[in-house]
Structure 1
C-alpha cells in the first residue's frame, strides 16, 4: 500500500478519473507519468514505455517537441489570452483558420474554434439545428449516428455516441438521436455476405430509417471515417459512397468527425481523403495541436455559412461561443504543428511507417487468439477471440483484452484495450525501428496472455490428431 502522503494515495483520495473503473482505481491507483521523450513516456518509478496510443490517439509529435513548447512560450509572452467574441480576434486564430481552409479535403468556407473534440461535435449538432431553422425547416431536429461510434461525452455528443457505458445512468441518449448498425463486416456481416453487399444493406437500412422517420425531421448524419474508440473499425468497401448518395437524395447534412482520423492518422491529411468523403462540416481536434494545447475546430461549407448569416441577421447575433474558443496560445501551437507536418513531410512518413505497422500486425493473424487484424495508416486494432473458427468472443467478464493491455504494459508498451480489441495509434514521428519494437513487445504480451487464458480454461481445447483418432 502507498504511504498516506504519497502522490498515489493522494490521487486515489482526491482525483476522479474519466473512463475508469472507480472501484478498481481505489485498489490499484494510477500509473503516474512524469516526463516524455520522443515516442516514450516515463513513470515516477523510472520505467520507460513506448506509447503506441499517442496518449489518447493525439500526441502525434510525441512528448518532447521543442518547436511546440517554444511556440507556446512566445505566444504566452506576447498575448497569453484574448477572446474572439463580438468582432475581436487574434493573429494566431486568424492564421489558423486560414490554414485549415487551405488544407481542407473539400471546399469549406469558415472555421469555428472550441477546446475539445466533444465540444466540436456538440457544436456541430447545434449548427445543424441552426441551419435547419435558417433554411425554413425547423422540424429537422433528429441526428443519425452508428452503434459503437464515439463522438464525445457532453450531453449531446454522448447522445450521438453509440456506446452503452456512456449512456447508462446518465439518462442518455436524448430523444431524437438515432443509431444504425455498426459498419463492421467481421462482426455484423451475414454468412457469405461480401463487403460490398454488406455496405448496400447498411445504406438501405439508412434509407429505410429516413423514410420511416421522415426526411423533414432529420438534420444530419455523423460519422468517423474510421471508428476509433469503437475498435478501429474501417468502413466496408463502397460504404461511404452508398451512404453519401442516400444523404444527398434526402438533403441531410453529413458531418465528418475527424477528431481522431485527421492530420495524418490514416496516411492522408484527412480520413475524408482516404475514404472519399465529401462532408458539409468537418470536426477536428487531437492532432490539430499534437495535444500540446487544447483546441478543436469545425470547418463548415459556404452554403451552411450563408444560411447562418441570414439567421444571425434576423436574431441580431450568432448566439454561440466558448471563452477559450480560438485561444491564442493553443492556436499558435496548432499553427506550428501544421507547419511541422508540412515541412517535415510527416503525412507521407506516417503512410510509409503505417504500412510497416499494418504488415507486422497482420503477421499475427495466425496466432491462436487473433480473430481479426484491421486498420489503416498509423491506426490499427487486433481483436482477440475465444475461438478463431467460429469467431466466438471471450466472456466479457474474463477481461481478456484488459489482460493483454496489462501484460503489454509490463513489456514496456502502451496499447489500449477497447473490449477485446487492442488498439494502436503511435505518434506520426514513430520510426521503422520503433514500429519493430511495438510489434515485438506486443507479440510477447499476446503469447503471455495465451498462456494465461489456457491456464484459466477460457479457450476451447483442440484435440491432437492422436486424440481425434481415438474419439
Structure 2
C-alpha cells in the first residue's frame, strides 16, 4: 500500500516537473512558477474543483468569471460528444454554415437587447474586442469617414490582451513590456464611487455621472469628433475592480456619443448570460449599444467561443456597402465552430430550463448582504461593492483615510493565497488590491456562507502577517 502511494506521489511530482519544464503559463510570474510549480486541477463538479493531490476547493470565481452553470454538466458534454461525431469542424468562410451556429445565432438575437441584427463568432473575449475595433473602422470607411478611428476606453478597464484589445485595456501590466497601447486607443477615468467620486466632491451619483460624461465629451472635442469612432465599456467593470456604474452613467454618456456620431460598444464578456441577474448588462443599465461582445458565459467555459452582436446602425451600413460585392475580409478558422456552438446551445438550454438568470437576481440581495455582514470589523476591508453575482472587496492599509497598500505589499494576492489554503478560490485583481468573487449561478446559500467565512479568516490571517512585518 505504501509503495502504491509512493508511486502515485512520484507520478504527481513528475507531472509538476514537466509543467515547469514545458508549460508557459499566462498571467504567471515565471520565477514563481519555476520555484513553486503548479496546482494541477484534476476534476470538478458543481461549485467545487479538486486538484491532483486530492485537495478540494470551493470555486468562488467560476474559473475566470465563466463557469456559470457549474462544473460537470453532462448535458453540455453530451452535446459536445454528439456534434464532434457528426460534424466536429468545418469553417464558415465563403458562405458555408452549420446547423448549430445557425440555431445559436437566431437564439442570441432573440435573447439580446433590441436592435441587434447579426452575430459574428470567434473564440475568445480578446478576439471579440479585436473584431469590434475592425468593425468600427470598416463601418466608418464604408461611410466615407476613414479618419474616424480612435476608440475611447477607461483606465483599468480590461478588454483583452491581443494587440488591439490590449490597447483598449487600461490595465498597466497589460501594456508594460509590450509597447502598448497603440495610438488609436484613448482612456478616460473609470467610474469609482469609493475613491474618485468623493475626491471630486460629487453631491450625488447623477452629478458624478455628469462629470464623467463631460470628461468623455472633452476628450472627443480635443481629439476631434471626426477622428473618434467609438467608446467601449463593460456594464460593470470587472478586472478593473468590480465597479458598478453610478446612477445615470450610461444615459449621460450615450447623449454625448450621439451628439458626435460615436458608436457605443458593450463588452459583455463577463456580464453576458446572467451574471448580473439579466441576460445582458446592457438591458440592466439601459446602455443601448451598437455592438455587444460576449464570450465566457456563452458556453460556461466548456469550450472556447465568442460572439459579436452587431446592431442595426452598423449592420445597415455593411449591408448597403456590400451591394458592390465587397467581402468583409475578417474572420478566424474557428469562427462558428460547430462543436463550440453546440456546447453553447446546451449551456443556454440549462440557463433557460433551470431559470438560472432569474436565480441570480433572487440570490443577489443575499450575496450583497452576507459578505459585508461577515467581513464587518476587519481593518483591512475598505469597500465592498456588488452587482448580481459579482463582488469586489477592496483592501486598504487604513480604513479612515482609504490609504492604499504600497504595490509591493500585494495584499490582495496574499489574501487569495490564504483563501486557497482555507479551501476557497477567489481572484486578486491587479492594480486595485481588490478581491473579486463571481461564483457559479448554482451556488447555494450554505456555499456562500462558506465563502464569506473563509474569506474573513483569510483576511484576518493576512492582517496578522502584515502587522508582524510592520506594514500596518
1:101 corresponds, among 109, 116, 127, to 109
Residues 46-195 of structure 1 mapped to structure 2, 5 A cutoff: 46-189=54-197, 190=199, 192-193=201-202, 194-195=204-205
Alpha-carbon distance in 1 for matches of 2:292, 2:63: 23
Alpha-carbon distance in 2 for matches of 1:410, 1:191: 40
1:200 corresponds, among 191, 201, 210, to 210
Q: What's the offset of the Cα at 1:192?
A: 3.5
Q: What's the offset of the Cα at 1:63?
A: 1.5
Alpha-carbon distance in 1 for matches of 2:323, 2:169: 33
Alpha-carbon distance in 2 for matches of 1:352, 1:390: 35
Alpha-carbon distance in 2 for matches of 1:330, 1:226: 26
Given the two structures, how large is their TM-score scaled by the length of structure 2? 0.95
1:423 corresponds, among 409, 419, 436, to 436
Matched, 1:280 2:293: no
Q: Give the conservation status (yes or no) of the 8 Å contact 2:127–2:162.
A: yes
Q: What's the offset of the Cα at 1:299?
A: 0.6
User: Which residue does the alignment assign to 1:289?
Assistant: 299
For these two proteins, the number of residue pairs brought into alignment is 459
> C-alpha deviations, 1:322-354, integer Å up to 9, x for none?
110110000001011111111110001112222
2:471 corresponds, among 421, 444, 458, to 458
2:94 aligns to what SS in structure 1? coil
Given the two structures, how large is their TM-score scaled by the length of structure 1? 0.95
Matched, 1:214 2:224: yes
Q: Give the conservation status (yes or no) of the 8 Å contact 1:360–1:439.
A: yes
Q: What's the offset of the Cα at 1:195?
A: 2.4
Q: Give the conservation status (yes or no) of the 8 Å contact 2:12–2:52.
A: no
Matched, 1:436 2:449: yes
1:303 aligns to what SS in structure 2? helix
Alpha-carbon distance in 2 for matches of 1:234, 1:365: 21
RMSD (Å) for aligned C-alpha atoms: 1.5
Q: Give the conservation status (yes or no) of the 8 Å contact 1:288–1:334.
A: yes
Q: What's the offset of the Cα at 1:236?
A: 1.5
User: Which residue does the alignment assign to 2:3?
Assistant: none
Alpha-carbon distance in 2 for matches of 1:353, 1:4: 39
User: Which residue does the alignment assign to 2:41?
Assistant: 33
Structure 1 residue runs of 5 or longer lacking an equivalent are 460-471
Alpha-carbon distance in 2 for matches of 1:433, 1:216: 54
